[in-house]
Amino acid sequence: MPVVDMVLIALAGLGAGAINTLVGSGTLITFPTLVALGYPPVTSTMSNAIGLVAGGVSGTWGYRRELRGQWHRLRWQIPASFVGAALGAWLLLNLPETVFEQVVPVLLIAALVLVVVGPRIQSYARARAEAAGQSAEHVSRLQLASVVFATFAVGVYGGYFTAAQGILLIAAMGALLPEDMQRMNAAKNLLSLVVNIVAAVAYTLVAFDRISWVAAGLIAAGSLVGGFLGARYGRRLSPNALRAVIVVVGIIGLYRLLTL
């Protein structure tokens, strides 16, 4: 592999690791980079998923404080992500590459709308809870079931393609849970990491020879550093600033998806 290509892939991994920690659409940097350098789409998807595991680890570790107090919900969401990712990886390995091409942009647009209107939905939910004599932080069984199902659905998507799964998770949790943006971002990082690990293991076991291990290693090295940087600076952003970053990156990602 030419040195220039190696540098480009490592830099793409760095950017993807940082953006995944902040928002969750870093694949929209690394995937087009690999495709532009001549890698087949499926090889790019699998190599990218494996490489971004390192960035997921560093990003999740950086947000570990914000995970406290969420385990009563995460104990249900983590298995949902695990099962969804396994199904998504199976779909990637067994279905034509074009199956989700028309669905992905629609999902991303819906997610961005939910990110924008999320605060109003949360305010409405809090008002209803208070009117019913419940705590503003109360989460009903229906809300919990909806969050778990949404987590499973995003896991399927993430196991198949990975791009923008973080935005979809933030959108779903923001619409259904009375949570702070930074805490939801921490949960998103952990759940996305679960999806990427499951997908990476599945790809390795089933399609070892179709993976570019050099590209995966370069993305891993870059994303590991990027994840630390994203956590360090992302935790300083206000909820509104973080929401704005998500929307801007999501719009850019939507454009990239439509022009791949």
Mean pLDDT confidence for 160-170? 76
Residue 244 in contact with residue 154, Cβ under 8 Å? no
Identify the three-state secondary structure at position 26.
coil
Residue 192 is encoded by which pair of tokens? 């996305």
User: Tell me, what's the pLDDT at 234?
Assistant: 75
Please give the pLDDT value at position 57: 93
Specify the long-range contacts of residues 183-187, CB closer than 8 Å, at least 24 apart.
Answer: 183/66, 183/67, 183/69, 183/70, 185/22, 185/63, 185/66, 185/234, 185/242, 186/60, 186/63, 186/64, 186/65, 186/66, 186/67, 186/70, 187/67, 187/70, 187/73, 187/74, 187/77
pLDDT of residue 101: 60
Q: Write out pLDDT tens, residues 49-100.
A: 899 999 999 989 988 888 888 888 899 999 999 999 999 888 877 877 666 5
Three-state DSSP state, 6: helix
Tens-digit pLDDT profile for residues 6-46: 898 999 899 888 888 877 777 777 877 888 888 887 788 88
Q: Is 222 helix (H, G, I), strand (E, B) or coil?
A: helix
Question: What is the Cα–Cα distance from 23 to 249, expressed in whole angstroms?
Answer: 8
Cβ-contact 179, 67 below 8 angstroms: no
- What are the residue boundaries of the structural domains of the chain, listed by start? 3-259
Q: What is the distance between the alpha carbons of residues 108 and 219, in angstroms, rounded to a whole number?
A: 24
Local structure of residue 67 (DSSP, 8 states): G
Angle at 98 (CA atoms; ends 92, 99), nearest 5 degrees: 65
Cβ pair 91, 159 in contact under 8 A: yes
Which are the contacts of 152, defined by CB distance < 8 A and separation ≥ 6?
80, 81, 83, 84
- For the stretch 89-115, pLDDT in tens is 888 778 776 665 666 677 667 766 766
Rounded to the nearest 5 degrees, what angle is found at the Cα of 216, between the Cα atoms of 215 and 221?
Answer: 100
Mean pLDDT of the chain: 80
Contact status, residue 42 vs residue 89, Cβ threshold 8 Å: no
Q: What is the pLDDT of residue 127?
A: 65
